[in-house]
Amino acid sequence: MKAVVIGAGLAGLAALHALTSSGAEAVCFEKAGVPGGRVITARREGFIFDLGAQFFFHSYNTCFQLAKEFGLYDDLTTWECRSGLLNKGRFLPIVPSTNPRDIATNLGETLRFVAKAGIPFQAMRQFLGLLPTLVKRHKDLDLIDFERALDLDNESLADFVLRRGGQAILDYYIHSLAAGLTLAKADDLSAMYGLGLLCSMIKGVLTFRHGLGCISERLGDRYAGCIHYHTPVQRIVIEQGKVKGVEVNGGLVEADAVIPAVTATSLLEMAPGLPESLKRPLQQVTYSACCHVIFALPAPLFPKDWYALLLHGRTGACVSAFCDNSMKSPYYSPQGCAQIGCWTYDRHARELNDRPDAEVRRVLVKEIQRYMPHMPDTPLFTEIYRWREAVCIAPPGMLGGIAHLKRNNYRDVKGLYLAGEYLHMPSVESAAKSGIDAARAALR
C-alpha cells in the first residue's frame, strides 16, 4: 500500500509512525519548514519557548505511549500551577488541583483565597450549581470517548453556566477557563467541550523538560526521509468516490490512501470533491485565533513560585492570563531569568495579528504594566507568533456532527482517512490519537 500523509503536525507524524512501523510505503507533504504544526518549540539565547500547545493533561495516553517509544517518557515533568486571581488591584494566589497532596500542602493559602479573593459570594454559591454535573458526568466527559456526553453538546458553555449557576461565576471563573484553554469566549464552545477541559485540567498538567515540541522533533527526525518540507498539497484528487492521489507542484502523486492531517478548513479547501455527508460536519469545525507574545526578562516578574496571573471577564484585557513559563522546568530560562507568555484571544488576537511587531510589543508591554507596573519597557527580546487557527473550539453541535460522520459516513470516499484534533474533543491527545487511528484504518 502507498499512503500520502498531508501535514507534519502531531496528527500527521503519528500517522506516519503507525504506517511505516507496519511496513507501508508512506510519504508526507508539509507546507512549513519544520515538523510539529501547533506542537512546536523554539530556542533562543538559552530560553525554550512553546509557541503553540503548552502542556499535556494526565489523560494523554497516546502521547505518553509515543513518548515511551521515542525515549522521552522520563523527560516528562509537572509543575505547581500557582495562579494569582485579580482582586482590587492585586493578585491573591491559589493552586487549582484535585491532588490530595497539593490540597493539604496549600490548604492555608486556599482558605485565605476563599476568604479574601473578592469573588462575590454569589459566584461561589453559583459554582455549587455546576458541581453535580462535574461529579456525576466526569467519566462521560472523556476527551476521546466523548459520545456519552453528547447531550451536553447542543448548548454553549455560557448558556449552561447561566442555567445551572449564574452570571457571576461565568464572569469570574468560566470566562478565564474558556479564554485560557481555547482562546475563545464561553459563548463560542459547547458545554460538553468546556466541562471536559475543566475535568481534565484540575488533575494537573505536564510537559517535557526541554519543551513540549520535543515529541514532534523526535518524530520528525525519525521520519525525515519521508517528509517533504515547504511542499504544500494543492488538491486531493477524488474520482468516482475514490481517492486517486494528491496534486503537488502541479503534478499528481498517486496513492492508495490519503490521510489529510490538517485543519478542517484546510481540508475543505484542498478537497473540493468531498460529498456533502463529509462536507457538512467539517464546515461546523471552528478555530480561535491568537497573537502569542513572549517576553524574555532578566529577572522574575511574578512573586516566587507563581505560574500565572488570571484576569476575569470584567477587566476588558486583551489576554486572559500572563504565564511565567520558566516555572515549567529549569531548562526553560537561564538561571534567574523569566519568560512571560501572553495569549491574546478573540477579537484582540485577530486585530493584533494584523499589526506590525513593534506595535504588538508596545501594546502587550502596556497591558502587563496595568497589573505589574515593574514590567520593564524593554525586555531582553520578544518572540511573536501569529496563529490564524490556534485552537479548535468545538462550538455547540460540532462534536455531534463529527460523531455522526464517524459512525455513518467515514468511508464515503474510498481511500480517504481523516486525521485531526476535531475528530474528538479537541486536544493534543486527540490529534495524536486520530493520526494513529487513521493509519490503522488505512492499513486494514
Number of domains in the chain: 1
pLDDT of 101 reads: 65
Residue 99: per-residue pLDDT:
61
**DSSP designation for 173:** I
| CATH number of the domain where residue 227 is located | 3.50.50.60
Does 6 reside within a domain? yes
| Alpha-carbon dihedral sign for residues 307, 312, 316, 318 | positive
> What is the predicted pLDDT for the residue at 379?
97
pTM listed for this prediction = 0.93
| 3-state percent breakdown (helix, strand, coil) of the chain, nearest 5 | 40, 25, 35
pLDDT at position 223 is 97
Contact 220, 188 (CB under 8 A): no
> Is residue 356 in a domain?
no
Residues spanned by the domain of 270: 2-40+56-74+210-274+413-443
* Assigned domain for 168 exists: no
One-character DSSP codes across 320-383: EEEEEGGGS-TTSS-TT-EEEEEEE-HHHHHHHTTS-HHHHHHHHHHHHHHH-TTS-SS-SEEE
The rounded average pLDDT for each run of 10 residues, N- to C-terminus, in the chain (444 residues) is: 97 98 96 97 97 95 98 95 75 66 64 60 74 89 96 96 88 84 94 94 91 98 97 96 96 97 98 94 97 97 90 80 94 97 93 97 96 95 97 97 94 96 98 98 95
Instruction: Give a yes or no: residue 255 inside a domain.
Output: yes
Q: 24 in a domain, yes or no?
A: yes
Quick check: is 249 in a domain? Answer: yes
Q: Tell me, yes or no, whether 367 lies in a domain.
A: no
Assigned domain for 284 exists: no
Rounded to whole angstroms, the Cα distance separating 157 from 149 reads: 13
User: Which of 441, 28, 426 is CA-nearest to residue 222?
Assistant: 28
